[in-house]
């Protein structure tokens, strides 16, 4: 398959200061990796700036204006975790716009799927608030953009180790968007309990799979094969978006999970099969967290290999018997979906 790749040194311009984990070196490490990893089928996609109207499709205009105003300051911060510099607004607009360019390329048939390696990340950004390293919610803006172009049911899968509170809030009332999150719980930002299933008009369209610290590939594979795939298959998405954080890796300094590149490979394979069955193979991933550079160097090629489609017919890694850690999510969603016992 042809896989679009959004990767640009301009994403390094967002400076967060000494010691901050969401640092320019994340993109630099991936750019260096891509000099060696250039398999057949990779297609470079040039990012563009998202317009203010595109940013405002998911964010309050006042929030867009607040972020834009930081361009006048060498240093500022929205909270203790979310510092910015004068280049941060433009970099964040390029992050959202880079994802939109990838979606454009997929819709046009120029590529089959793709991965946007951008920063700053986005899934914590709420409609009217920057937080958790995030200024604009890139994946939510992408979903809004797709909806305006006639895409109906959209699946957003967030495997970042932190719950995507901003994405959940953005689609809490939307019955045509299924938001799925696997995350360490309890943990930052404190949201993402299994009982959070969506509003009355969209009940069952938010699927939270909270996992205790220490979970690894077995639990993630079980969550994707035993719960997420059956629910998403019934939802029948027309497009699959992935908030691909790599901070569930066992090396990550900010979390306590034990996933390896094999787990990320398996999760991607499940989503590729879902997309092939329901969405014409259309999958668009975007970088969220992941703060250990060695983990990025190991997991990113694993995901790109799966996007190539070479593993679509291969068996998934075997997981241990269904873990009790999935029980709260299973119970919360039995009223809405047929979930295998």
Alpha-carbon gap, residue 325 to 125, rounded angstroms: 28
> What is the rounded (10 degree) CA torsion for 301, 304, 306, 307?
180
**Secondary structure (3-state) at 308:** coil
Alpha-carbon gap, residue 273 to 268, rounded angstroms: 9
SS3 content of the chain, % helix, strand, coil (to 5): 40, 15, 45
6 pairs with which residues across the strands?
116
Alpha-carbon gap, residue 316 to 204, rounded angstroms: 27
186: preceding bond cis by omega (within 30 degrees): yes
**Could you please report the per-residue DSSP string of 232-278?**
HHHH--SEEEEEE--TTBTT-TT---BB-HHHHHHHHHHHHHHHHHH
Choice among 14, 124, 162, 333 that is catalytic: 124
Structure tokens at 16: 């967060």
Structure tokens at 158: 């967030």
Alpha-carbon gap, residue 108 to 75, rounded angstroms: 39
Q: The tokens 């699959």 sit on which residue?
A: 240
Task: Please indicate whether residue 333 is annotated as part of the active site.
Answer: no
Segment (H or E) for 295? helix 293-307
> What is the rounded (10 degree) CA torsion for 89, 91, 95, 96?
30
By CB neighbour count within 10 A (0-12 exposed, 13-18 middle, 19+ buried), where does 141 fall? buried
Residues taking part in catalysis:
124
């Amino acid at each position: 398959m042809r896989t679009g790749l959004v990767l640009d040194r301009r994403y390094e311009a967002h400076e967060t200061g000494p010691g901050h984990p969401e640092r320019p070196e994340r993109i630099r490490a991936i750019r260096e990796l891509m000099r060696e990893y250039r398999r057949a089928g990779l297609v470079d996609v040039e990012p563009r700036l998202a317009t203010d109207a595109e940013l405002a499709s998911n964010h309050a205009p006042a929030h867009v204006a607040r972020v834009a105003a930081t361009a006048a300051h060498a240093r500022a911060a929205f909270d203790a975790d979310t510092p910015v510099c004068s280049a941060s607004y433009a970099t964040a607009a390029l992050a959202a716009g880079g994802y939109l360019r990838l979606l454009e390329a997929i819709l046009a048939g120029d590529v089959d799927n793709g991965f946007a390696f951008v920063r700053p990340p986005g899934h914590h950004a709420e409609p009217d608030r920057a937080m958790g390293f995030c200024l604009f919610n890139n994946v939510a803006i992408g979903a809004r953009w797709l909806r305006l172009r006639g895409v109906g049911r959209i699946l957003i899968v967030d495997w970042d180790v932190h719950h995507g509170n901003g994405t959940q809030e953005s689609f809490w009332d939307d019955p045509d968007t299924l938001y799925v999150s696997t995350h360490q719980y309890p943990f930052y930002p404190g949201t993402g309990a299994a009982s959070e299933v969506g509003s009355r008009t969209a009940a069952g369209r938010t699927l939270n799979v909270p996992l205790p610290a220490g979970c690894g590939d077995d639990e993630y594979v079980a969550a994707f094969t035993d719960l997420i795939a059956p629910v998403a298959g019934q939802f029948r998405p027309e497009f699959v978006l992935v908030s691909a954080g790599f901070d569930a890796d066992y090396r990550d300094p900010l979390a306590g999970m034990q996933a390896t590149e094999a787990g990320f490979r398996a999760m991607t394979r499940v989503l590729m099969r879902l997309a092939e069955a329901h969405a014409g193979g259309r999958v668009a991933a975007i970088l969220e967290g992941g703060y250990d550079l060695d983990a990025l160097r190991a997991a990113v090629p694993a995901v790109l290999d799966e996007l190539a489609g070479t593993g679509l017919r291969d068996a998934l890694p075997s997981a241990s018997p269904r873990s009790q850690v999935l029980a709260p999510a299973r119970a919360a969603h039995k009223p809405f979906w047929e979930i295998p016992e």
